[in-house]
Amino acid sequence: MLSTATAPAIKICGIATPQALDAAIAARADYIGLVFFAKSPRNVSLRDAAMLGERAAGRTKVVGLFVDALDATVAEAVTAARLDVIQLHGKETPERVAKLRAQFGLPVWKALSVASREDVANAAAIAGAADLILFDAKAPKGADLPGGLGLVFDWDLLAAYRGQAPWGLAGGLSPDNVADAVRRTGTKLVDVSSGVENAPGVKDADRIRSFCFNARTASQK
């Protein structure tokens, strides 16, 4: 469950090393994300995912990120990393979301790419199937990755969302803009990946610490 306090829940995505995991835990991140998508510089093997999942157990929640993955791929990752949440970042339909939710008995988050009010309106179709809608910036046409590109969308577009499902915010968040994002949108979850890196896939402990602090104290500024 997401926090009901003023401060949003925090997810550090693209964790691939014990050092990055420990930095996220030390900064009191509520969730860490493991990427199971071969094209991503943050992709983790099942062996590494198992190690990270064991290290995270009881200390933070583990989210597995998938892009149009097969059932077998999801099942292997759920078991290996002891996932707490499944996050879908591809073109999965509401039916696919509901199927995975029922099959694995885990919360399912669905990322939606946003560039217009119409994109936000599309969330209504999936709100009944997903436990959380994650609004992310739309990747450029032809991009290999659906997210983690450091792109920001117009947060004012979220005023058009009328769905019943809880929602979170991703897309170009960083220590520099997360407080403003929280204040402007009222999001209950912030999700960051490239914004806390010093190179693609290489997490920076200081940026993780700053991001979590700025997100958590946004309402106090």
Report which DSSP code applies to 195. Answer: G
Q: What are phi and psi of 83, to 5 degrees?
A: -65, 145
**CA 16 to each of CA 13, 106, 112, 151, 200: distance values in angstroms, whole numbers, following the listed order:** 9, 22, 24, 21, 11
Query: Residue 33 is encoded by which pair of tokens?
Result: 């994300």
So which residues are the catalytic ones? Answer: 13, 136
Residues near 192 by beta carbon (within 8 Å), at least 6 away in sequence: 10, 11, 12, 13, 170, 173, 174, 178, 211
Q: Where are the beta strands (DSSP E) in 7-123?
A: 9-12, 31-36, 61-66, 85-88, 108-114
* Antiparallel, parallel or unpaired: β 61-66 and 167-169: unpaired
